[in-house]
Amino acid sequence: MIPFNKPHLTGKETHYIYDAVNTGKISGNGKYTKLCHDFFLKRFHFKHSLLTTSCTDGLEMASILINIKPGDEIIMPSYTFVSTANAFVLRGATIRFVDSRDDHPGMDEDKIEELINEKTKAIVPVHYAGIACNMDKIMFLSEKYNLFVIEDAAQAIDSYYLNKDGIKIPLGSIGHLGVFSFHETKNIISGEGGLLVVNDQQFKNRSEIIWEKGTNRSSFFRGEVDKYGWVDVGSSFLPSDIISAFLYAQLEELDQIQKRRIEIWNLYYKELSECCKANGIRLPMVPEYATNNAHMFYLVFDSSNLRSKVIEKLKEVGILSVFHYLSLHKSPFYIEKHDGRTLINSDRYTENLLRLPLYVDLQDQEVLQITHTVREILNG
Amino acid sequence: MIPFNKPHLTGKETHYIYDAVNTGKISGNGKYTKLCHDFFLKRFHFKHSLLTTSCTDGLEMASILINIKPGDEIIMPSYTFVSTANAFVLRGATIRFVDSRDDHPGMDEDKIEELINEKTKAIVPVHYAGIACNMDKIMFLSEKYNLFVIEDAAQAIDSYYLNKDGIKIPLGSIGHLGVFSFHETKNIISGEGGLLVVNDQQFKNRSEIIWEKGTNRSSFFRGEVDKYGWVDVGSSFLPSDIISAFLYAQLEELDQIQKRRIEIWNLYYKELSECCKANGIRLPMVPEYATNNAHMFYLVFDSSNLRSKVIEKLKEVGILSVFHYLSLHKSPFYIEKHDGRTLINSDRYTENLLRLPLYVDLQDQEVLQITHTVREILNG
């Protein structure tokens, strides 16, 4: 039996949790939260990090920070997780969904500008499968129309954008704000968990306030005010230090985790590329301006029937593969609110994309078993 | 050195976390989440429990469930934590703050009705220090004016309301919805954590959807629908099973924890009552319709100068005592939005209430040292 995902443990998680528990400080913003924030600064030069209880919560913080009000419009892909949209819908925004690219499930950067109007407040690019959107195009539109950019980097830890000068810029650090997920299905995990990265320093102080339930508690502990009180809206966005302790153990092993995931990804690619090309099945595309963090290995079939057949046949031999998002513009919640445009690529990925097992503890032998089975199904 | 609070460990927390981590299911709604939900059902007859990442998040779920819209009014005490208010302000509500009782920091049940109008949507009683509000009075108003009641039972685990027939009803189970906190300062802890209790079954299905990010994932796993999608607003309200594992270890020891806290509370009361009465200082009041879960031991002075003096003198001998809330109607965030009524009792508790150390591992000898010092300051 090969599951679709299996959370990988570095071995230090429970050790650090034990330490956190025994320090007696297990609410938010403790020792391990600070260690994680320091890690993000050193490793990715994230100037201002705030761990959150989920990536969803990071998106909600972003939505509050840019002052979303009823009637504001947000541009994002339809082929994404519900939280990308819900965080803004909760504040009253209308979502203008963009189609996916023909060659990649990420949003088509050339179809954004036509949706911009005086109500548009922000663009939310989702780095699907950890693969960068074309951030030059998006940041150009941001500057031209004075829009915020919030990078949904849920799947994009340790993934980079290669700018025109060939410099690697960590995803999540390019837009005004960026968010990451540490849900157990991601490369780096803490069960549930997330991160808000504040790149535009105008948001720095307020992000701390919103994180601390709308109080100026952080200022109080820095000695800047003599008591703290209610100064803004906010929520309890900060995770227990138990969660941060787990996360820190994972971050310490980031290089090893990434190395192994990339090996697996490359093995999949090598074993499947010839057969897939012969059968008109698309493999993941990595543009020249993006790096690959091996978050996901997927195939895009030319019909949903074939996808269903592959899922079934793999399941028969104990291999679990899964499809991914359902177009949000066609969801029960939004279909009546959507402006009616057809988004053919988003629907195509909804119908035809298949994800294969990819986790650190997946053995080469298992990958070969999976790829052998896939080839048999396709050629048979 | 005697701290104000020290999280108590039962010893099983890291053991259960280790188990949760090793099952490989550490995202939300796993084994320990279900064990906690079962515990609440068996112990308190909570029909439908949903663990949350914080009590704040439980309140936000309640606010979404009762469909708060801009212009709606919510009635709650001013002497409470910011999250009681923020959860509703985030959805656009206006807060009508009620004064505290003269004899207790909880809200004055006789001052609620005068604030009710056609915009009023809900009453949010806060069971301050775990001591019940007069729920008969509040539920009478709820029925008379068709208002929702959301019990903020953040501090009120294992505390009860004694109804007219003398029957003990667990706090949190009386209103339409109830919320609890498991922050490290509470009787039962998980670092950060909370619980939403759904008593009015009209909210049952939708509460699961909102909990699962606005998707019908729970229905999917029960086989009621063949795939799950976006059907409503929602957020990632569910905690990692790591947090639930910690919480379950605490819940198993609830009786021992409560027994010890009540012993400490009674010792404080015995040692301080005579001296405080002689000096015009009020001790906690427990109405005849309430039980005491020993969440907090506090003194109410007749001046803030005396409170400051006691805090200082205790600090000099290494004992940390703290004040509590600041009236929300006078906060920087709400003072201009408040309707201008003066709330003298709320302000009095803001200025004059002092909390003494109270945690399971506080020794009798330390309590006697604290009470001895307090008496010396007051008599000296």
Average pLDDT (A41-67) is 98
Angle between helices A13-23 and B13-23 (to 10 degrees): 160
Using the predicted structure, report yes or no on whether residue B116 has a pLDDT greater than 90. yes
Provide the mean pLDDT of chain B: 97
Which of A81-90, A352-361, B18-27 is predicted with the least confidence, judged by mean pLDDT? B18-27
Q: Convert the pLDDT of each residue in B265-324 to its tens digit.
A: 999 999 999 999 999 999 999 999 999 999 999 999 999 999 999 999 999 999 999 999
* pLDDT score for A99: 98
Q: Convert the pLDDT of each residue in B225-243 to its tens digit.
A: 888 899 999 999 999 999 9
Pairing of β B297-300 and β B353-356: antiparallel
Q: Convert the pLDDT of each residue in B364-376 to its tens digit.
A: 999 999 999 999 9
A88 to chain B, minimum CA–CA distance in Å?
A: 10
Distance (Å, whole) CA A67 – CA B253: 44
Give buried/exposed letters for A63-77 (b at 16+ CB in 10 A, else e).
Answer: bbbbebeeebbbbbb
B86 vs A90, A233, A328: nearest CB: A233
Q: Convert the pLDDT of each residue in A113-154 to its tens digit.
A: 999 999 999 999 999 999 999 999 999 999 999 999 999 999
Instruction: Give the model's confidence band at A189: pLDDT under 50 very low, under 70 low, under 90 confident, else very high.
Output: very high
Instruction: Specify the domain boundaries for CATH 3.90.1150.10 within chain B.
Output: 254-379
**Residue contact A230–B28, C-beta within 8 A:** no
Residue whose C-alpha is closest to residue A44's, from A134, A181, A168: A168
Q: List chain A residues with CB under 8 Å of B54.
A: 53, 235-236
Instruction: Give the model's confidence band at B220: pLDDT under 50 very low, under 70 low, under 90 confident, else very high.
Output: confident
**Residue contact A240–B334, C-beta within 8 A:** no
A28 vs B14, B60, B192: nearest CB: B192
Instruction: Give the model's confidence band at B41: pLDDT under 50 very low, under 70 low, under 90 confident, else very high.
Output: very high
Average pLDDT (B93-97) is 98
Tokens at B39, concatenated: 């515990």
Q: List chain B residues with CB under 8 Å of A53.
A: 53-54, 57, 192, 236, 239
Q: List chain A residues with CB under 8 Å of B331.
A: 229-231
* pLDDT score for B38: 98
* pLDDT score for B239: 98
Tokens at A17, concatenated: 């949790």
Angle between helices B13-23 and B241-252 (to 10 degrees): 140
Q: B-contacting residues of A 282-301, CB under 8 Å?
A: none
Active-site entry in B186, B204, B213, B277: B186
Q: What own/partner pairs with CB < 8 Å and gap ≥ 24 does A38-43 have?
A: A39/A248, A39/A251, A39/A252, A40/A195, A40/A197, A43/A251, A43/A254
- Tell me the percentage of chain B whose pLDDT exceeds 70: 100
Distance (Å, whole) CA B261 – CA B264: 5
* pLDDT score for A57: 98
Which residue matches tokens 């919103």? A210
Instruction: Give the model's confidence band at B223: pLDDT under 50 very low, under 70 low, under 90 confident, else very high.
Output: confident
The ipTM is 0.97
Provide the mean pLDDT of chain A: 97
Average pLDDT (A36-57) is 98
* pLDDT score for A358: 98
Distance (Å, whole) CA B106 – CA B99: 8
Which residue matches tokens 């550490």? B26
* pLDDT score for B222: 87
Q: Is the Cβ–Cβ distance between A161 and A290 less than 8 Å?
A: yes
Instruction: Specify the domain boundaries for CATH 3.40.640.10 within chain A.
Output: 13-252
A186 is catalytic: yes
Residue whose C-alpha is closest to residue B378's, from B263, B281, B260, B249: B281
Q: B-contacting residues of A 19-78, CB under 8 Å?
A: 21-22, 24-28, 53-57, 60, 64, 70
* pLDDT score for B11: 94
Q: A-contacting residues of B 91-150, CB under 8 Å?
A: none
Count of CB atoms within 10 A of residue B57's CB? Answer: 31
Distance (Å, whole) CA A351 – CA A374: 18
Q: Is the Cβ–Cβ distance between B28 and A192 less than 8 Å?
A: yes
Q: Is the Cβ–Cβ distance between A350 and A325 less than 8 Å?
A: yes
CATH no., domain A254-379: 3.90.1150.10
**Residue contact A192–B53, C-beta within 8 A:** yes
Average pLDDT (A25-29) is 94
* pLDDT score for B43: 98
**Residue contact B333–A243, C-beta within 8 A:** no
A242 to chain B, minimum CA–CA distance in Å?
A: 7
Top residue of A89, A192, A347 to mutate, by most chain B CBs within 10 Å, is: A192
List, in sequence order, every residue forming a beta bridge with A149; answer none if it has no partner: A123
* pLDDT score for A169: 98
Count of CB atoms within 10 A of residue B1's CB? Answer: 6
Tokens at B2, concatenated: 């005697």
Tell me which chain A residue has its CA closest to the CA of residue B14.
A18
Q: Convert the pLDDT of each residue in B54-80 to its tens digit.
A: 999 999 999 999 999 999 999 999 999
* pLDDT score for B145: 98
Instruction: Give the model's confidence band at A265: pLDDT under 50 very low, under 70 low, under 90 confident, else very high.
Output: very high
Distance (Å, whole) CA A294 – CA A264: 8
Is A212 in the B-facing interface, judged by CB distances under 8 Å?
Answer: no
Is A190 in the B-facing interface, judged by CB distances under 8 Å?
Answer: yes
Domain A13-252 coded CATH 3.40.640.10:
yes
B331 vs A191, A230, A236: nearest CB: A230
Distance (Å, whole) CA B380 – CA B376: 5
Angle at the Cα of B46 from the Cα atoms of B21 and A86, rounded to 5 degrees: 65
Count of CB atoms within 10 A of residue B359's CB? Answer: 18
**Residue contact B18–A21, C-beta within 8 A:** no
Q: Is the Cβ–Cβ distance between A346 and A102 less than 8 Å?
A: no
B83 vs A22, A25, A236: nearest CB: A236
Distance (Å, whole) CA B217 – CA B229: 7
Output the 3-class SS for chain A: CECCCCCCCCCCHHHHHHHHHHHCCCCECCHHHHHHHHHHHHHHCCCCEEEECCHHHHHHHHHHHCCCCCCCEEEEECCCCHHHHHHHHCCCCEEEEECECCCCCCECHHHCHHHCCCCEEEECCECHHHCCCCHHHHHHHHHHHCCEEEEECCCCCCCEEECCCCCEEECCCCCCEEEEECCCCCCCCCCCCEEEEECCHHHHHHHHHHHECCECHHHHHCCCCCCCCECCCCCECCCEHHHHHHHHHHHHCHHHHHHHHHHHHHHHHHHHHHHHHHCCCECCCCCCCECCCCCCEEEECCCHHHHHHHHHHHHHCCECCECCCCCHHHCCCCCCCCCCCCCHHHHHHHHHEEEECCCCCCCHHHHHHHHHHHHHHHHC
A82 vs B21, B70, B230: nearest CB: B230
Q: Convert the pLDDT of each residue in B175-184 to its tens digit.
A: 999 999 999 9
Active-site entry in A186, A204, A213, A313: A186
Instruction: Give the model's confidence band at B150: pLDDT under 50 very low, under 70 low, under 90 confident, else very high.
Output: very high
Going from the C-alpha of B25 to that of each of A7, A46, A116, A191, B74, the distances in angstroms are 8, 30, 42, 8, 39
